[in-house]
Amino acid sequence: DKSPSMWWTIALAVIVLLGVISVVFSITLPKFKIIQNLIDRLNLILRENLTGMMVVRAFNRQDYESRRFDRTNRDLTDISLFVNKVFVVIMPAMMLVLNGAMILILWVGSHQVAQATMQVGDMMAFMQYAMQVVFAFLMLSMVFIVLPRADVSAHRVADVLETEITVKSPPDPKPFPEPFKPSIRFEHVSFRYPEAKEDMLHDINIDIAPGQTVGIMGTTGSGKTTLVNLIPRFYDVTAGAIAIDDIDIREVSLQDLRARIGYVPQRSNLFAGTVESNLRFANPNADEETMRRALEIAQADFIFKHPKGLQAEVSQGGINFSGGQRQRLTIARALVKDAPIYIFDECFSALDYKTDARLRQALRKHLAGRTIIIVSQRVATIKDADQILVLDQGRVICQGTHRELMEGCEVYREIALSQLKQEALV
């Protein structure tokens, strides 16, 4: 049986198939990476134009934004067409290899039949087996054709899944003592954002007693929001330590720590659903009376005038409410949590002075005995605080009561005097 000498024809066909696959892979893999980046870029432009539609119209930038979109879309189209052209050639090339292998087997086999070294039946059987082998590799090559795009997508997903969590609960967390005392202490705290060249906060020392109200103000970019974001461990300090009830917050579980903090962010974040679902986000077990009470304290009684009340719909991002209404709803959500520590980060900025004053009065009454931290640029909002911190370039430059700072802190006094007429209207 001399037929085994024909196996080289199958090996040749497989080698050619693998060569075609390698060429396609080397050409398309870099292109798919570019395509994914261009898709990201295109989505970014679309999102910016949809969310900033009013700004684009106000500055008559429709033509510019259209050109920016067209330029990116054209680049994406060109590369996509190139990749599709490569794929269009693939199937004919594969069939060419398959039929070429069949012709080669017939040519070699016919010579062996003519020389009486192989029977016609053996040649036909070998051809069938060879076609099965080559066809299997052909199907495998089809998988490799879509592999470049799958490889790029898989790497993008893996980048997210494999990103290391930097803020974690300790392996053996300590419990907070009972009864819990909402004291907060910053001890020589410094903080630097990842990959930043300089510290955002420098050697911060603060001692907040249980039940105190602390106001924080400062120039734009002075680190006010960064400072309060360290308390619930959205970031970990670079140096120093933060202690709550005399326990380093890195030694307690994140769940236990954040369960004791009511947080109102600088940007009002509402979730699509209803007013009730947004309030229950802070406390799933809150009853209707608790939610109504929180809305009253937050001066969000406009909800009661809505035909659906607590079932009033909230669109994505809460855009069906005004800025001030969104802020009051986020404050109400924090109040539903009934936490011993509250952080209000610039959440009074969209409120008029009268609403601000009524809200502060209601908070003082409702949150008596709670530790409250208020970040605000309004002197009227924080002047009644037990202590006020003035930040500048990541450092606490002044600390004291309103009266003490008016006498001994030039920066605070300048800000206060610039707002004096507005405060007098409250």
Is the pTM higher than 0.85? The answer reads: no
Residue 420, pLDDT score:
65
What is the Cα–Cα distance from 392 to 224, expressed in whole angstroms?
9
Q: Is the pLDDT of residue 112 over 60?
A: yes
What is the Cα–Cα distance from 130 to 63, expressed in whole angstroms?
61
Residue 423's pLDDT band (cuts 50, 70, 90): very low
Q: What pLDDT digit, counting tens, does each position of 296-321 carry?
A: 999 998 999 888 889 999 988 888 88
Helix (H, G, I), strand (E, B) or coil at 347: coil
Least confident of 82-91, 161-170, 353-362: 82-91
Q: What pLDDT digit, counting tens, does each position of 137-164 carry?
A: 777 777 776 777 777 788 888 888 888 8
67-77: average pLDDT: 93
Q: Is the pLDDT of residue 116 over 90?
A: no
The DSSP bridge pattern shows strands 213-218 and 387-392 to be parallel
Residues 6+ apart with CB under 8 A from 125: none
| CA within 13 Å, CB half, 177 | 9
> Are 231 and 345 contacting, i.e. CB atoms less than 8 angstroms apart?
no
- Residue 347 structure tokens: 């959440």
Q: Is the pLDDT of residue 425 over 60?
A: no
Percent of the chain past pLDDT 70, that is, above it, reads: 96
Q: What pLDDT digit, counting tens, does each position of 1-49 carry?
A: 444 467 787 788 778 878 887 887 788 778 888 888 898 899 999 999 9
Q: Is the pLDDT of residue 410 over 80?
A: yes
Q: What pLDDT digit, counting tens, does each position of 375-401 carry?
A: 998 888 888 899 999 998 899 999 999
Q: Which domains does the chain have, with CATH numbers?
A: 3-161 (1.20.1560.10), 184-424 (3.40.50.300)
Task: Enumerate the H helices of 168-261 as residue ranges.
Answer: 224-229, 254-259
Q: Is the pLDDT of residue 51 over 80?
A: yes
